[in-house]
Structure 1
Amino acid sequence: MHDCKPPSGAMNRWLNSYPSVEGCYGHLLLEEKADRDPNLAAALIPYFESAHRDAREHFAAQIGINLHPDADEDDDDDDAALLLYPRCLPPTARRGLFGEVMTGLVTEHFKFVGAHEWSIPIFLFRYHADVEKYLFDLARDPARVRAVFGRFGSDFLGVSLDSDGAVIRLIVGEAKWRETLNSSTVSNLMLGDWKRNRNTGERVRKGGVWFEINRDLPVPHGVRQLQRLLFECDRDGHAAAIVSLDKALALRNPVPIPRTNLIMIAGDGAATREPRTALIGWEETPEEYTSSNDLQVVELILNGGAALIDEIYDLLWAED
Structure 2
Amino acid sequence: MKKFIITILFFGIAILASIVGVFLMADATTDPFYKKFTSSKQSSLILGSSRIAEGVNPSIINKELKGINSYNYAFTYNTSPYGPTYLNSIKRKLDTTIKNQIFILGVDPWVLSNDSHNPNDLKTFEEQDGFLGTLKTVNSNPNFDYLVHNYSEPYIKILYNNSPLVVQDDGFTKLTLTLTDDYIENKKKETLVNYIDKLKEYKFSTLRLDYLKETITYLQAFGEVYLIRVPIDFQLLEIENTLKSNFDEVINDLTTELKVPYFNFSNRGDEFNYSDAHHLLPESADKLSIEIATRIKQLKH
Flag the structure with higher strand content: 1
TM-score, normalized by the shorter chain, greater than 0.5: no
TM-score (norm 2): 0.27
Flag the structure with higher helix content: 2
